[in-house]
Structure 1
């Protein structure tokens, strides 16, 4: 479970780095598009993990 969180955090960081420094490797539009995709994928998946753990905690408390 912890490895998923680390992978999603890395996706967020990579997306931010691509958005910031990607224009030196490819055109700015492609760097921003690819960075946003990685960033949003990491954010989406990490919120899914948080939601699953929250649901499991509520089931245990009940």
Structure 2
């Protein structure tokens, strides 16, 4: 991925600090052990909010 593509993604939505981040689906903070943050866009989703919901964290760095 090129730096320009990464910058475009990052600047396409408002940045939030870790304490301010919510699930992109339900907008709640909830259980920190059940929310996944994307390494690319830094947005988060609760595993229970996904369709289908996940029972465990997928492989890889989250």
**Which TM-score applies when normalising by structure 1?**
0.23
Structure (1 or 2) with the larger CA radius of gyration:
1
Greater strand share, 1 or 2?
A: 2
**Which TM-score applies when normalising by structure 2?**
0.23
